[in-house]
Amino acid sequence: MALIASATPTTGTVTFNSIPGVYGALLLLGLGRISPATTGDYVYGQFNNDAGSNYDEWRLVGATGGTAYAQTRARLAEWPGASAPSSAAGSLQMYIPGYATTTLHKTMTMQASARVNTSDLQVRHHAINWRSANAISRIDLTLASGNFVTGTVFYLYGLP
């Protein structure tokens, strides 16, 4: 496993661009917190700057599931905001096999955890589908409002 890049953003979006297509899979790891005055809010993802209705989601949050199809972005984690307990953080890890292939659409899994309230530790499991056969060369991680705060880190790894 090789570290491709890392980021410590304090902006509302972090972009991994020009991802080399030489690996078998990507592993994206993150730990962070966000600035909006809320207990928690979503971190969204897009590939190759594609804002079309090409993202599908199957989620399991705690013991409850749900679906969302043909979305304009993939919903990933819910991370704690300014109203969450002090220093509470959220994490995410996303595994993207075959990201550099150009025949089939990309489907992947994402797991996340977060402590958004004193007695609310969440776990999420998402299946994410991107309706594109293009190789993934760019990943954007974005908030709908506010910024990632100091201490937030993302790591993008390439797996053989």
How far is it, in rounded angstroms, from Cα 76 to Cα 91?
10
133 binds another protein (CB under 8 A): no
Given 97, 107, 111, 120, the residue binding another protein (CB under 8 A): 120
157 binds another protein (CB under 8 A): no
CA nearest neighbour of 30 among 18, 43, 20, 17? 43
- Residue closer to another protein by CB (options 26, 108) is 26
The one-letter amino acid code at 123 reads V
77 binds another protein (CB under 8 A): no
CB 43 to another protein: min, Å: 11
Instruction: Considering only CA atoms, give the Rg of the chain.
Output: 15
Given 98, 122, 130, 136, the residue binding another protein (CB under 8 A): 122
CA nearest neighbour of 78 among 13, 11, 33, 128? 33
Q: How many residues bind another protein (CB under 8 A)?
A: 49
Q: How many residues does the chain have?
A: 160
